[in-house]
Amino acid sequence: MARSAAGVGNAWQALRLNPLALLRSPWPWRSFVYLLVGFPVGFAWLTATATALGLGLVAAPLGIGLPLLASAALSGVALAAVERRRLRLVDPLPAPSPHRAPDDPGPWPWLTCRLREGATWVELACAPLLCVLGLLDFALAVMLLALVLGLLSAPLQALLLPHAHQNAAWQQILQDGRSLFAVWLVGLWAALGTTYLVTAWAGLRGALSRRLLVRPPRSELRTRIVELTRSRARIVGAYEAERRQIERDLHDGVQQQLTALIMTIGLAEAELAEGPPAAGRLVSRAHREATQALQELRALVHGIVPALLADRGLGPAVAAIAERSPVPIHLDVDLPGRLPDTVESAAYFFVCEGLTNVAKHSRAAQASVTLRQLGGGLLVEIRDDGVGGASASASGGLVGLADRVSALGGVVHLSSPPGGPSVLQAQIPCGS
C-alpha cells in the first residue's frame, strides 16, 4: 500500500489515498451521508422559514407577526449552526461560529446582539444557496448510488428476475453471460469512480461551508491585536509628545524665571558688596540656593528629553553619550536625517541603558554602537567584547525599554553567551 490513512484529516485529503485504502477509510461513507443529509435539512429550513415569513407578514399588524419575522431573520443562524455540525462528517476540525457571545445573559441581549451582527445576515443570505446545493448534493448522491447499484446488481437481476425488465437492450444484456460480466466489471469501475467523486464533491462542499459559515482562524483576535498595537503606538506617541511639551514648558517657563531670579540676586549681591555683611551673606545664600534649584531642574529636564536629542537628533545625541562612556565606544552611525520623536527617544534611552550595562557589568575593553536604517525602520546595536552572561531580566531598565520598543512595533534581541561577546539589538519601525 503506497499511502496509509494516517495523516488524512478530512474528505478532501482522503483523495490522496489509493483505492483500497480509500474504500477502507470512513471518508467515502461519511461523504455520502453528508451529501444525503443536506437536502432534508435544507428542505426543513425552507419550509419553516417560508412559513414564519408568510405568517409574519400576514400577522404583522396583529403584533404577533414581529416575533415571527424576527425568527425568519434568525433562521439563517439556525441553519448555519446545523451546517457547521454537519460539516464534522467530512471535516472534523473545529468549526467555531462567527458569532460573538452576547454581553449579557438572557434571550433579549442574545436577540439584539445577533440582529446587530453582520454574520447573522451573511448566514441568512447563504441559506437559500445552501438549500439549492443540498438538493444538488442529494440528487448527485442518489443518482450515482442508483447507477452503481444497478450495474453491480446485474447478475443478481438476471438470476432473480430474468424477464421482468421492460428495456429490450438491458433484457438482452441480462441474458448473455459475457456481456453480463462486462456490465458487472463496468459497475465495479463505476463504484470506484463514484467513491472518489462523492468524496471529492463532499470535500469541496465542506470547504465551501467552512468558508461561508465558520469563523476564520483567529481573525477576530488578529483584528484586535492590530487595533491594540496601533493604539499602543498612539499612546507612546502621545506620551512622547507630552514629554517634549513638558520639557519645552519647563525650559521656557520655570528655567527662565529661575535664571532671571539668579541674575537679580547676583545684582543685589554686587550692590551689597559694600553693605552690611549679614545681608551680603544672606543674599549669597539665596544665590547658591537658587543656582542649586536651577541645576536640579536642568538635570530633570535633561532626563525628560536631552537637549541635544531634541535639537540635533539621534546621531549627535548618541555620539555625546558615547563620548562620556568609560568604555571606549566605536560609533557606526548611518542615518538619513531626523526620525520620528518616539523612535528617537526610544532608541536614545535604549543606547543609554545598553551602555550603562556595558560599563557596569561587561568588563569590556571595547564596545560599539551601530545606528542604521534597515528596511522601513531603525536598527540599534550595542556590541561589547566583555564577559557575556547578561540577561534582560537582570536589568530592570532594559525590560522597560524593551516594552517601549515593542510598543512601537519593534523587537529587542539580546545575545550574551558566557564568555561573550554580548550583542544587544533593537529594531524599531519608523511608522510613516
Partner 1 sequence: MRVVIAEDSVLLREGLAEILARRDHEVAAAVSDVPGLLASVDAHLPDVVIVDVRLPPGYRDEGLQAAVKLHRDRPEVGILVLSQYVEQTYATELLEVATSGIGYLLKDRVGDVVEFLDALEKVAGGGVVIDPEVVRQLLARGSHHPIDQLTPREREVLALMAEGRSNVAIARRLVVTPAAVIKHVGNIFGKLGLEPAEEDHRRVLAVLAYLKGPTR
Which one of residues 57, 228, 270, 394 is an interface residue with partner 1 (CB under 8 A)? 270
Which one of residues 236, 290, 339, 371 is an interface residue with partner 1 (CB under 8 A)? 290
Least gap, CB of 310 to partner 1 (angstroms) = 7
Dihedral through CA 231, CA 233, CA 234, CA 236, nearest 10? 130
Least gap, CB of 268 to partner 1 (angstroms) = 10
State which residue, 88 or 298, has the beta carbon closest to partner 1.
Answer: 298
Cα–Cα distance list, 401 to 191, 236, 298, 411 (Å) = 67, 12, 23, 11
Q: Centre a 10 Å sphere on the Cβ of residue 102 and count the other Cβ atoms it contains.
A: 16
- The answer to whether residue 285 forms part of the interface with partner 1 (CB under 8 A) is no
- Residue 381 phi, psi dihedral angles, 5° rounding: -135, 130
Instruction: Find the part of the chain contacting partner 1 (CB under 8 A) among 10-18, 189-197, 293-301, 390-398.
Output: 293-301
Near partner 1 in 329-358, by CB under 8 A = 329-331
Name the E strands within 302-417.
329-334, 367-374, 377-384, 411-415
- The answer to whether residue 255 forms part of the interface with partner 1 (CB under 8 A) is yes
- The answer to whether residue 272 forms part of the interface with partner 1 (CB under 8 A) is no
Compute the distance between CA of residue 258 and CA of residue 264 in angstroms, rounded to an integer. Answer: 10
- The answer to whether residue 252 forms part of the interface with partner 1 (CB under 8 A) is yes
Query: What is the DSSP-derived secondary structure letter of residue 16?
Result: T
Instruction: Find the part of the chain contacting partner 1 (CB under 8 A) among 10-18, 209-217, 220-228, 266-274.
Output: 266-274
Residues 6+ apart with CB under 8 A from 194: 144, 145, 147, 148
Grid coordinates representing 161 are 428476475
Q: For partner 1, how many residues bind (rule: CB under 8 A)?
A: 43
Instruction: Find the part of the chain contacting partner 1 (CB under 8 A) among 79-87, 96-104, 192-200, 301-309.
Output: 301-309
- The answer to whether residue 19 forms part of the interface with partner 1 (CB under 8 A) is no
Closest CA to 191 of 72, 199, 34, 77: 199
- The answer to whether residue 326 forms part of the interface with partner 1 (CB under 8 A) is yes
Query: What is the DSSP-derived secondary structure letter of residue 62?
Result: G
Which one of residues 88, 215, 244, 298 is an interface residue with partner 1 (CB under 8 A)? 298
Least gap, CB of 340 to partner 1 (angstroms) = 16
- The answer to whether residue 282 forms part of the interface with partner 1 (CB under 8 A) is no
Closest CA to 309 of 358, 351, 272, 280: 351
Residues 6+ apart with CB under 8 A from 388: 362, 416, 417, 418, 419, 420, 421, 422
- The answer to whether residue 387 forms part of the interface with partner 1 (CB under 8 A) is no
- The answer to whether residue 215 forms part of the interface with partner 1 (CB under 8 A) is no
Closest CA to 203 of 17, 75, 391, 388: 17
Least gap, CB of 273 to partner 1 (angstroms) = 9
Least gap, CB of 294 to partner 1 (angstroms) = 5
- Residue pair 195/22 in contact (Cβ under 8 Å)? The answer is yes
- The answer to whether residue 310 forms part of the interface with partner 1 (CB under 8 A) is yes
Contacts to partner 1 by CB under 8 A: 248, 251-252, 255-257, 259-260, 262-267, 269-270, 287, 290-291, 294-295, 298, 301-302, 307-308, 310-312, 316, 319-320, 322-331, 359
